[in-house]
Structure 1
Amino acid sequence: MGPAAPDFAGDVQDAAELRTIRHDTFAITRTVAAPPHAVFEAFSDAALRARWFRLPGRTVSARHDFAVDGGETASSRYTAVGTAPQTLEYASRYLDIVPDARIVYTYTSAVDGIRRWASLVTVELHPDNSGTRLLWTEQAAFLAPSAEPEHDLPHLRGATRLRLNGLAAALKPT
């Protein structure tokens, strides 16, 4: 008898959930009042990145290795009004890095140990008269819907916009 077959279902509990995966793509363009090399540094430098890229709630752990085949892991505890505390987890892997121009990576997000979505993200940095035109393109596969699945994509898109607002704020001169 050979080794056991791998469990490819991951966090999926039954076959019906396998058929409910939803795919969405969105793009956000943002002009940042800093040159491309400074915006790139905000992604690559762990201390600067921590100023704008974090999970909601109280950070439990964070690690960042900005290199092709490196990645980032983070977890936090979050409590929304009227809900029980939740554990949030993020794990990424960098696939392509072109200094001052492009970053391509994948990531997964989990809530209380259930992988909710996986995404492929491409961040493009283009010189612009007023700094950098950043183009964020994200292709998401929602693996386990929330209680209100119609809000999953708007939530992800809105959280990304907020995060990019934080990026712009982190790059402002103090």
Structure 2
Amino acid sequence: MTLMITPATFVCERDFEHSVALLYFAFTDHEARKVWYGGKERGFNVAHHTLDFRAGGAESWRGQPHGDAWMTNDATFIDIMPEQRVIYSYVMTMDGALFTVSQQAVEFSARGTGSHIRLTEQIMFIDRSDHLTGRIEGTQAMLDHLNAWLDAHIAAG
């Protein structure tokens, strides 16, 4: 088998009916991220999740989505401008094998009485693991769960 790297770039955008401050809080708060990012509420078996949200800090997640293969996601935060942007890089493994290396910029902005998020990801799929459509769908699902967390947080008062 010939080993290869397949690069790709994608952008996902979403409007929310919630303030930039609350949207940004959901990204920076460990308890919030545990719910919308990849937690039991999403049907994941999570063995490990830590968050040190600061430039130079890290996030580490190990879990099994929907009974599938065990995955890890280890990120390093590169640049943080509160309520404006977060830039980080991350690597993902599946059953111990490296399958993607990414860098992502998350931009936050006000839109009317709500907010807007723009995620731009540059990704390298390792050794024929190209699943760009699945990655985009997963990112969109993550934004759906983020919106649900925002709605629930407001409803809880």
- TM-score normalised per structure 2: 0.89
C-alpha RMSD of matched pairs (Å): 1.6
Larger Rg: 1
Q: Percent identity?
A: 24
Q: Name the counterpart of 1:117.
A: 100
SS state of the match for residue 51, structure 1?
A: helix
CA distance in 1, matches of 2:12, 2:89: 17
Q: Name the counterpart of 1:153.
A: 132
| Letter of the structure 2 residue corresponding to residue 112 of structure 1 | D
Deviation, structure 1 residue 78: 4.3
Long gaps (5+) in structure 1:
1-13
Long gaps (5+) in structure 2:
none
SS state of the match for residue 22, structure 1?
A: strand
SS state of the match for residue 144, structure 2?
A: helix
Q: Which whole-Å deviations, capped at 9, do the CAs of 1:62-117 have from their partners, x for residues lacking one? A: 1111011111111113465xxxx521111000000000110000111110111100
Deviation, structure 1 residue 144: 2.7
Contact 1:31 / 1:130 at 8 angstroms: preserved in 2?
no
- TM-score normalised per structure 1: 0.81
Q: Name the counterpart of 1:142.
A: 125
Q: Name the counterpart of 2:12.
A: 28
2:53 counterpart of 1:69? no
| Letter of the structure 1 residue corresponding to residue 97 of structure 2 | I
Q: How many residues align?
A: 150
CA distance in 2, matches of 1:86, 1:123: 27
What does 1:2-81 align with in structure 2 at a 5 Å threshold?
Answer: 16-17=2-3, 20-54=4-38, 57-78=44-65
Query: Which segments of structure 1 move beyond 2 Å, counting only runs of 4 or more?
Result: 77-80
- Closer/same/farther in 2, CA of residues 78 and 165 from structure 1, 3 Å limit: closer
